[in-house]
Amino acid sequence: MNTTVLHIKNMVCPRCIKMVRYVLEHQELAVVDVSLGKAIVEGAPDAEQIGRIAKALEEEGFTLLDDRRLQTVESIKNFVIETVHYGELDELNENFSTLLSQHLQKDYQQLSKLFSETEHTTIEQYVIQQKIERVKELLVYNELTLSEIAYKLGYSSVAHLSGQFKKVTGLTPSHFKAVKEEKRKPLDKI
């Protein structure tokens, strides 16, 4: 079976995966698989089909990527999102940079340079931003203590989490929790 991989920007959650699948199926494509940042379809869509797919995806807030560099950056973002929001950071036995490098099978220095040039921030800062958004989410849910959140997100201590949180948001986690303001950002806006 001949398949084509479509790289798609702005996929950040399970709902995005469902929406992309829906869009592709309504473009009469046989969808093999959809995951954060990519979809695999049977066959090879021609230029006209690609144009229709791109337009349909854009109407839903997604972008079809054809530039290899942008595909790599989107793969980095998706790996960070999957790991921070849906993974178990407390169980990581290796540095994040090592995991990312292994996952994408590319040298971390090259990935870091490309990401910085394209996104105007470092991978490390992007990871921190994602972790802080996850902390905000968990604080709003009010189901875990700050200690449990720090452990779950792989922080060495509550103090480390609190310091990073304050540096990014300007608030301490306890103040953020007390005011209960909706200060969260959508993942695709980070």
Q: How confident is the model over 40-91, as pLDDT tens digits? A: 999 999 889 999 999 999 999 999 988 889 989 999 999 999 999 888 776 6
Q: Give the C-alpha separation, 148 to 66, whole Å.
A: 41
Residue range(s) occupied by CATH 3.30.70.100 in the chain: 3-66
Average pLDDT, the chain: 89
What's the start-to-end Cα distance of the chain, in Å? 37
pTM: 0.76
Nearest in space to 41 (alpha carbons), one of 69, 10, 64 = 64
The CATH architecture annotation of domain 67-190 reads: Orthogonal Bundle (1.10)
For residues 79 and 120, the answer to whether their CB atoms sit within 8 Å is no
Looking at the chain, the domain(s) classified CATH 1.10.10.60 span: 67-190
CB atoms within 10 A of CB 108: 17
CA distances from 56 to 59, 87, 177 (A): 5, 30, 39
Amino acid at position 124, single letter: E
Is 90 exceeded by the pLDDT of residue 184?
no
Q: Quick one: CA dihedral 157, 160, 165, 171, positive or negative?
A: positive
Residue 150's CB is within 10 A of a number of other CB atoms, namely 22
Give 117-132 pLDDT, tens digit per residue. 999 999 999 999 999 9
Q: Is 85 helix (H, G, I), strand (E, B) or coil?
A: helix
Residues 152-160 have a mean pLDDT of 91
Structurally, at CATH architecture level, domain 3-66 sits in: 2-Layer Sandwich (3.30)
| % pLDDT > 90, the chain | 67
